[in-house]
Structure 1
Amino acid sequence: MSSIERLDYYVRDTRPCMTSAQTGAKWIKELLEGHPDRIHDAFRMSKRIYIDLLHKLEVDHELQGSQRTTAREVLGLTLYILAQGGSIRLAKERFQHSTETISRYFSKGLTSLLLLSAEVIKPMDPQFREIPAEIRSDARYMPFFKDYVGAIDGTHVDARIPVEDQVRYIGRHGTTTQNVMAVCDFNMCFTFALAGWEGTAHDSRIFARALRDNRLNFPHPPQGKFYLVDAGYLLKMGYLKPYPDTRYHLADYARGSRPVHGRQEHFNKAHSSLRSIIERTFGVWKKK
């Protein structure tokens, strides 16, 4: 490479960069008017849900655009980054905006979604007055588990972390993850979520923080009501663990030739079966 070629390589090109005719606004218009699979693949939701979500955020959570960018595009680029696990740079090319503009509007869209989450990720009835239908209609659980209101567990979610902070986030499988604690009811609806903890954080540590920090609005069980938790959680009133040193996981009962014996094994088997609702809920969420 000659000296002139090297100079050309390092000198910044001053020509306009975002010049594609396929702007973000035009792309979203295509998605809304095109085949329903396209918008679902791009945003992980249907056209109807996207339109309803946009209306909700505009009316209740002040999602706004600008003179050059509509609220529809702000929501679109936010969902694109979240659904595709994309970077700001990829969104910059897709929506034909500068890095600063993409970053600013992604922050706005994310803030609106977080405000909405406080409205929807919560128990339908904070007092848990009704026996869950899934328990009431199942002889394996009724009446023994009639006062149980949900299950708690943690799951690891892939995370993109700056190099200098990655060590704390490297989980069991050698990848950077965040440990997300969640609560769900027996209708497979999340009623609480606490994200952002490093992959090396133990479930009991995150659980203790959720209980102590009133700002997180954790839905504590009323007196006489209980959450199902696994053996790794703290033993506290309102949070019921399985019996220790006793068969627990359903696979252990399925593999073994020995029948269920004693009240502790009967309890643990029912506990494991009922608590699996949180694992199934995580599975449905991760397939979205």
Structure 2
Amino acid sequence: MSLGCFRTLCDSLETNYGLRSTLNVRIEESVAMFLRICGHNEVQRDVGLRFGKTQETVKRKFFEVLKATELLACDFIITPRRQELLRIPNRLLMDSKYWPFFSGFVGEMDGVHICVKVKPELQEMYWNRHGRTSFNNMAICDLNILFTYVWNGAPGSCHDTAVLTMAQDNDAEFPLPPADKYYVVDSGYPNKQGFLALYRSSRNMFVRYHMLQFHNGPPSQNKQELFN
């Protein structure tokens, strides 16, 4: 995080969400300790040593910043209603690179593994294919790269498709696309109504998938690679 972004975050949490400095801990310290724990997976003891604070202070300040950050998230992550999903964004209409080819686009969906420390008896559930314990979080963003939905906390052992199923089955607010709309997704998700995924290589055919793979030349004439 850049210094300017960090200062803006601290100012916003103070001005809009009630975070306050105390006699011994400034807002900047509280937010920095919070980010070390969330962003770098540090334990309270190590953070306390780094900032010269007791573990009790680190724990208390962590939850103060967490409370303020949850309020901030509620303002910034706004799930669109059905009528909003039916509208075509002006930015899409004005972009000849994507219009009318992506006329049904309402957002991008992807998952990210967030490393976490868990109790030994729970490690099997949270162990992911990268050999670490994690949450598999799913997020949706719109054409402006603004988050519109987050499903948080699925165990790292869950496949992306399983996380999507959890969100659809357990959250009445999940923004399912209208009949003629779709989210752009990678091949970790199903290619079905409402979800437009790419092709990957099979046993019988090599298909370039990632953008970097196309630096060696234009797509071949097979339909899968042209589609990608």
Please name the residue that 1:60 is paired with: 16
Please name the residue that 1:259 is paired with: 220
Instruction: Report the Cα distance in structure 2 between the residues aligned to 1:243 and 1:167, rounded to whole angstroms.
Output: 31
Q: Does 1:224 align with 2:180?
A: yes
SS, match of residue 152 in structure 1: strand
Instruction: Report the Cα distance in structure 1 between the residues aligned to 2:33 and 2:181, rounded to whole angstroms.
Output: 42
Q: Give the aligned residue type for 1:111.
A: K
The structure that has the greater radius of gyration is 1
Deviation at 1:84, TM superposition (A): 3.7
Q: Does 1:114 align with 2:75?
A: no
The alignment yields a C-alpha RMSD, in angstroms, of 3.4
Structure 1 residues 55-204: aligned runs within 5 Å: 55-122=11-78, 127-128=84-85, 129-131=87-89, 133=91, 136-139=94-97, 141-204=98-161
Instruction: Report if the CA contact (8 A) 2:30-2:61 is conserved.
Output: yes
Instruction: Report the Cα distance in structure 2 between the residues aligned to 1:269 and 1:157, rounded to whole angstroms.
Output: 33
Deviation at 1:92, TM superposition (A): 1.0
* Contiguous gaps of at least 5 residues in structure 1: 1-43, 273-288
Q: Write out per-residue CA displacement over residues 121-162 of structure 1, whole angstroms, 9 at most, x where no aligned residue.
A: 3468971423464675344x4313112122212232322222
Instruction: Report if the CA contact (8 A) 1:136-1:143 is conserved.
Output: no
Q: Write out per-residue CA displacement over residues 225-254 of structure 1, whole angstroms, 9 at most, x where no aligned residue.
A: 211234443465422345797875435985
Number of matched residues? 221
Give the 3 Å change call, closer, same or farther, for CA 236–61 of structure 1 in structure 2.
farther
Instruction: Report the Cα distance in structure 2 between the residues aligned to 1:148 and 1:195, rounded to whole angstroms.
Output: 23
Give the 3 Å change call, closer, same or farther, for CA 202–251 of structure 1 in structure 2.
closer
Instruction: Report the Cα distance in structure 2 between the residues aligned to 1:172 and 1:56, rounded to whole angstroms.
Output: 37
Q: Write out per-residue CA displacement over residues 37-71 of structure 1, whole angstroms, 9 at most, x where no aligned residue.
A: xxxxxxx231x333322222123222234454343
Give the 3 Å change call, closer, same or farther, for CA 184–269 of structure 1 in structure 2.
farther
Q: Give the aligned residue type for 1:62.
A: G
Give the 3 Å change call, closer, same or farther, for CA 168–135 of structure 1 in structure 2.
farther
Instruction: Report the Cα distance in structure 1 between the residues aligned to 2:199 and 2:33, rounded to whole angstroms.
Output: 48
